[in-house]
Amino acid sequence: MTELADRLDQSISGAVPPIITMQGLVRRYKMGSGIVTAVDGVDLTIAPGEFVALMGPSGSGKSTLLNLLGGLDRPTEGEIVVDGVNLGRARKRELVEYRRHRIGFIFQSFHLLAHRTALENVEVPMMLSGQAPGPRRDRARALLAQVGLAARAGHRPNELSGGEQQRVAIARALANQPRILLADEPTGNLDSATGADVMELLRELNRGGLTLIVVTHDPRSGAYADRVVHLSDGRVVDIVTQTAEASER
């Protein structure tokens, strides 16, 4: 795929710095009297605007790697630098700012506030970052329109379908204009047709310039990515660069 190859070549040559760099990344946890190595020596770079799928069996380290990328966890060894922030060395305040402004999170279970409308859910990140009510309300409406839910802005989560709830969650993830979206099994609670619609939306956002990292066990979701990184026992065991036909679906 020429466009992807150009981005990767530029990142490797240094013409365009990678937006994500992992070197010798290790994450170990104490479990009972033993130590579990969830991520074991990962080396990986991701170019700006790339769409990468992390795939592997349960326990392969996918979600741990996503938590490290999101600044929700810290490495035991090695380095992880995302959008200029060294996540292993950053102070707590820096990590809060990083999560608030540079990263958007999308979860399998949506995590919407049940007592708030779709519009209010999308406003929450902007409220936490101190944006004024008028501008944040206008942006929330625009984001709901972008994901096809302008007419559902006043509905609460229990009045929305699963696919609609995930679209609200995507709009919320975009609220503070992040450069990177992290999605953990975004189609896991959806039927296949609705899941395909959500992946099409994510791919469209990626085409608009967002870097997208998706954890998935579903090859149909992985087929949308530029590259698929296969993990096993915390290690990268294969990286597949996909054809334009595969990633465009």
Q: What is the DSSP string of 114-128?
A: TTS-HHHHHHHHHHH
Give the span between the Cα atoms of 175 and 140, in whole angstroms: 7
Q: Could you tell me the two tokens for 56?
A: 């592997």
pLDDT tens for the chain, 249 residues long, are 556 566 555 555 557 789 999 999 999 998 888 999 999 999 999 999 999 999 999 899 999 999 999 999 999 999 999 999 999 999 999 999 999 999 999 998 899 999 999 999 999 999 999 999 999 999 999 999 999 999 999 999 999 999 999 999 999 999 999 999 999 999 998 999 999 999 999 999 999 999 999 999 999 999 999 999 999 999 999 999 986 545 555
Q: Could you tell me the two tokens for 21?
A: 């760099």
Q: Could you tell me the two tokens for 168?
A: 């609200």
Interior CA angle at 182 toward 196 and 144, to 5°?
Answer: 60
Cβ neighbours around 126 below 10 Å, total: 22
Interior CA angle at 161 toward 158 and 162, to 5°?
Answer: 100
Question: CA 84, 77, 89, 124 torsion: positive or negative?
Answer: positive
- Looking at residue 6, its pLDDT comes to 62
- Looking at residue 33, its pLDDT comes to 85
Is 241 strand, coil or helix?
strand
- Kindly compute the dihedral angle of the four CA atoms of residues 240, 103, 12, 68, in this order, to the nearest 10 degrees: -70
Sequence-ordered list of residues with C-beta below 8 angstroms from that of 91, at least 6 positions apart, any chain: none
- Looking at residue 7, its pLDDT comes to 59
- Looking at residue 166, its pLDDT comes to 95
Q: Could you tell me the two tokens for 247?
A: 């990633």
Pick from 81, 103, 82, 46: which is nearest to 227 by CA? 46
Locate the domains of the chain by residue range.
Answer: 114-167
Is 137 strand, coil or helix?
helix
DSSP letter at 76 equals: S
Using alpha carbons, list the distances in angstroms from residue 134 to 12, 130, 144, 192, 248.
43, 12, 16, 38, 37
Half-sphere exposure of 151 (CA within 13 A, CB side): 1
Give the span between the Cα atoms of 115 and 243, in whole angstroms: 44
